[in-house]
Chains A and B, each alone.
Chain A
Amino acid sequence: MIRTETHFLKLWLTGSVYLVLTGCAFQSDLTDLHIEMDEIKDKMAQMTLKTDATDRISRERTQSTSNEQGNAFLKVDQMAVDLQTIQGRLEENNHSIGDLSQKIEEQTLRMHDQNSRLGNLENQMVSLEKSGQNAQAPPPQSSAEQGKMILPGQVPPSSLMPQEAYNQAYNDFVKGNYDLALIGFQNFIQQFPASALIPNAYYWMGESNYSKKEYLKAVENFDKVGRDYPKHDKTPSSILKEGYAYLEMGEKLRGKSYLKKVIELFPRSDEARLAKERLSLVK
């Protein structure tokens, strides 16, 4: 029964991977894929439960015939391998979806840029027509200048694409340049407020603050992820690190409450296990 489900899941995943790899999606299609991924995650969780159950059953059966025992163990081993394979596919799917989202984001930005250039060009032509044969009209701007024209009140566009700007800040964080990373992520948030990487940026700002032992600021940034993006994959880590930050500030009760929150909201996550370990150490 479980084997059939695994096979079904594999087919389903392969289908999804095919869809993702053979083309880029509209935003709505991506949403559909996300929903499908969530369903797959649920199935995986169910499978894990069933694996545990099978494991239990197989252990109970150790008292019966040795053949049955061997088969049961083999089955469990095979299921563990299947589970790892599914986990790998899920990671690859997520990676592909991330890539697609970035491409769509960049493409959208390019289109906006093109539209704005066209608009500027039209305005220039209209004003030229209006000025007629006015010999004192200023010479038209070069196409490069037209492209860079910024209307009053507009935020100057970054010369970097969202992914480049994000990576630059992330690489600063990895190199330990926390101040540069904070500035980079802050700029990224201001310039690309609609980016799918916004929660990631807040998360890494929290990590930068945490590394600088600025625990209060870390809490603010981690809190933003946990509060505004409750289903994001950085959320369990954000809540856990918020708890760690409170513990570092000596606020044990508050810290413990965040550790418990991770366990309650994401019981099967690595962060929940880390929270349990930490709770056992906090007196």
Chain B
Amino acid sequence: MRRVFILKFRLLLMVSLLIAAAPPVRSAEVHIDIERLESSRTPVGVLGFETEPGAESEVKSVRDILMMDLKRSLAFQLTDLSQYPSSKNLAPEDVKKIAGDRIEIILTGKVKKEGDQFKLNAALYNGKTGKWMWERVFGGSKSSLRMISHRTSDKIVYQLTGEEGIAQTEIAYVSDTGGSKEIYRMDYDGYNPRLLTLNHTINLFPRWSPDGTRISYTSYIDRNPDIWIMDITTSKRWKVASGGLKLSPVWYPDGRRILFAASVEGQTQLFTGMEDGKNIQRLTFSIGNDLSPSFSPKGDQVVFNSDRGGAPQLYLMNNDGTNVRRLTFEGEYNTTPSWSPKGDWIAYTCRTDNRLQICLISPDGQRKVNLSSNRYEDESPGWAPDGRHLVFSSNRDGKTNVYMMTSEGTEIERLTRTGGNFIDPAWSPVRH
């Protein structure tokens, strides 16, 4: 008893000394350097697009979509210069005059119709020298006009930044619009939704393979939550693991194996297996439920959530199940982790003030950021392949919808538009 008292006294004394000697605590505000600063974005002026007879009604939407794509890339500061029409014969002096002191790049465009095909000709000029820099032509049918703009945007992003754009990526999600929970895919900006499953049961947890050609998911099609994979290029589907509860399958970066949660002895544990269902091995042996794994970019670390400590928290382990250690210690509910493509952040659903929110934590556990306001229920974050955007579901407009935002929690945009609930979004990789 006396020993405890002395210990306590010494501890209290020590803490006073440490507090007095500790360096001043920095502001709780943590800046995430993965989003480009507004000031570091390249100023781009977009001229009015030229058109030819037959394409007058399409030219505005093509230009609008392209401008939205470029804005979402977070690489550019766009200025609408529609008062200046694009022209094939833009002289350097004209370009310099339009660009003025501030604009560094001038984008011009022309949309024309040839038969039933539309063509977009996009060109870039150096605003400082007035010289032509780059030009591409993309074409397709009327129904692919959006994709033509997306493709043009990605090429411009790559040309000017050297990084892959995300305008041609897609988002898979679950919706109950038709009565049953089916998996859909849509363009990254929420347009062009398409059904991927239609078995009138429950389908959950869609996750893209690293090459974007297959999706793993849990389906009750055989009256049991089993793991399935579909090849979206051939529509072929096959069952990977069945019996008991099989949940949240994710792909190893090699694209040949999956990691998933399965019930065993009354608990849910993590298992690994080949995509054809062979060589299934158990990886975790906890006294709780282990769920929702997500890989580090190179695939040698896994973050997952587990209630082995009484409440759901995030844990890390090696991809072979060794070296399990706890990552989150704040709050009593931390789930659905998603590791960023650059490896420096893990997004997850946290609960603060009894609300589900989107949080970020660094893999070393040293930095934590809450990206949500506390008025709505935000959950299930997933990273875009550029590492600068997140997709998540939220009830901020009444029903649950899918939204995207930057990794700083700004520029929130609703992506799903029709009735019903939309949950569990997953962003596709960039396809080459």
Q: Which residues of A contact B (CB under 8 A)?
A: 15, 19, 22-26, 29, 32, 80-81, 83-85, 87-92, 95, 103, 107, 110, 163, 167, 170-171, 174-176, 203, 207, 211, 234, 236-237, 240-241, 244, 270-271, 273-274, 277, 281
Our pick among B12, B288, B298, B310 for the contact of A22 (Cβ within 8 Å) is B12
Do A26 and B323 touch (CB < 8 A)? no
Q: How far is the CA of A236 from the CA of B11 in the complex (A)?
A: 32
Distance (whole angstroms) from the CB of B231 to the closest CB of chain A: 28
Residues of the B chain whose Cβ atoms lie less than 8 Å from the Cβ of A19:
7-8, 11
Within B330-384, which residues are at the interface with A (CB < 8 Å)? 342-344, 362-364, 366
Identity of the chain B residue whose Cβ is nearest the Cβ of A172 in the assembled complex: B343
Q: How far is the CA of A170 from the CA of B287 in the complex (A)?
A: 28
Given known pairs A19-B8, A83-B287, A95-B329, the reply for A271 and B296 (CB within 8 Å) is no
Our pick among A32, A80, A88, A270 for the contact of B284 (Cβ within 8 Å) is A270
Distance (whole angstroms) from the CB of B185 to the closest CB of chain A: 29
Do A277 and B343 touch (CB < 8 A)? no
Q: How far is the CA of A175 from the CA of B10 in the complex (A)?
A: 41
Indicate if B411 sits at the interface (CB-CB under 8 A).
no
Our pick among A15, A22, A273 for the contact of B15 (Cβ within 8 Å) is A22
Residues of the A chain whose Cβ atoms lie less than 8 Å from the Cβ of B296:
174-176
Residues of the A chain whose Cβ atoms lie less than 8 Å from the Cβ of B285:
270, 273-274
Q: How far is the CA of A270 from the CA of B308 in the complex (A)?
A: 13
Given known pairs A107-B18, A234-B323, A270-B321, the reply for A175 and B297 (CB within 8 Å) is yes
Our pick among A29, A84, A167 for the contact of B366 (Cβ within 8 Å) is A167
Given known pairs A270-B284, A270-B286, the reply for A24 and B8 (CB within 8 Å) is no
Indicate if B324 sits at the interface (CB-CB under 8 A).
yes
Q: Chain A CB within 10 Å — which of B284, B321, B342 has the most?
A: B321
Distance (whole angstroms) from the CB of A12 to the closest CB of chain B: 11
Indicate if B322 sits at the interface (CB-CB under 8 A).
yes
Q: How far is the CA of A277 from the CA of B286 in the complex (A)?
A: 15
Distance (whole angstroms) from the CB of B57 to the closest CB of chain A: 48
Do A23 and B318 touch (CB < 8 A)? no
Do B21 and A110 touch (CB < 8 A)? yes
Residue interface mask B1-19, A partner, CB < 8 A = 1: 0001001101111110010
Q: How far is the CA of A22 from the CA of B14 in the complex (A)?
A: 10
Do A91 and B364 touch (CB < 8 A)? no
Residues of the A chain whose Cβ atoms lie less than 8 Å from the Cβ of B21:
107, 110
Do B14 and A85 touch (CB < 8 A)? no
Residues of the B chain whose Cβ atoms lie less than 8 Å from the Cβ of A110:
21
Distance (whole angstroms) from the CB of B346 to the closest CB of chain A: 10
Do A87 and B7 touch (CB < 8 A)? no
Distance (whole angstroms) from the CB of B32 to the closest CB of chain A: 14
Within B14-28, which residues are at the interface with A (CB < 8 Å)? 14-15, 18, 21-22
Known: A25-B10, A87-B309, A92-B329. 19 other contacts (CB 8 A): A15-B4, A23-B12, A24-B18, A25-B14, A29-B7, A29-B11, A29-B14, A87-B310, A88-B313, A91-B309, A110-B21, A171-B343, A174-B296, A175-B342, A270-B286, A273-B285, A274-B320, A274-B322, A277-B281
Given known pairs A176-B297, A274-B322, the reply for A103 and B18 (CB within 8 Å) is yes
Distance (whole angstroms) from the CB of A52 to the closest CB of chain B: 12
Do B318 and A237 touch (CB < 8 A)? yes
Q: Chain A CB within 10 Å — which of B307, B311, B363, B364 has the most?
A: B364
Chain B interface SS verdict (over half): loop
Do A174 and B284 touch (CB < 8 A)? no
| Interchain Cβ contacts under 8 Å between A and B, 24 examples | A15-B4, A19-B11, A22-B12, A23-B11, A24-B11, A24-B15, A29-B7, A81-B310, A83-B287, A84-B307, A89-B309, A92-B309, A92-B329, A171-B363, A174-B364, A175-B298, A176-B297, A176-B300, A207-B318, A237-B322, A241-B322, A273-B282, A273-B285, A274-B321
Identity of the chain B residue whose Cβ is nearest the Cβ of A271 in the assembled complex: B322
Distance (whole angstroms) from the CB of B64 to the closest CB of chain A: 37
Residues of the A chain whose Cβ atoms lie less than 8 Å from the Cβ of B313:
88
Distance (whole angstroms) from the CB of A60 to the closest CB of chain B: 19
Q: Chain A CB within 10 Å — which of B288, B309, B311, B363 has the most?
A: B309
Residues of the A chain whose Cβ atoms lie less than 8 Å from the Cβ of B318:
207, 237, 241
Identity of the chain B residue whose Cβ is nearest the Cβ of A174 in the assembled complex: B363
Indicate if B326 sits at the interface (CB-CB under 8 A).
yes
Distance (whole angstroms) from the CB of A221 to the closest CB of chain B: 13
Distance (whole angstroms) from the CB of A17 to the closest CB of chain B: 12
Residues of the B chain whose Cβ atoms lie less than 8 Å from the Cβ of A237:
318, 322-323
Residues of the B chain whose Cβ atoms lie less than 8 Å from the Cβ of A274:
283, 285, 320-322
- Nearest 8 CB-CB pairs, A to B? A88-B309, A176-B298, A23-B11, A23-B15, A175-B343, A88-B310, A237-B323, A85-B310
Our pick among A171, A211, A240 for the contact of B322 (Cβ within 8 Å) is A240
Indicate if B301 sits at the interface (CB-CB under 8 A).
yes
Identity of the chain B residue whose Cβ is nearest the Cβ of A262 in the assembled complex: B322
Our pick among B282, B288, B300 for the contact of A207 (Cβ within 8 Å) is B300
Residues of the B chain whose Cβ atoms lie less than 8 Å from the Cβ of A91:
309, 326, 329
Given known pairs A274-B321, A277-B282, the reply for A80 and B14 (CB within 8 Å) is no
Q: How far is the CA of A95 from the CA of B366 in the complex (A)?
A: 12
Identity of the chain A residue whose Cβ is nearest the Cβ of B301 in the assembled complex: A174
Given known pairs A107-B18, A175-B344, A207-B318, the reply for A95 and B326 (CB within 8 Å) is yes
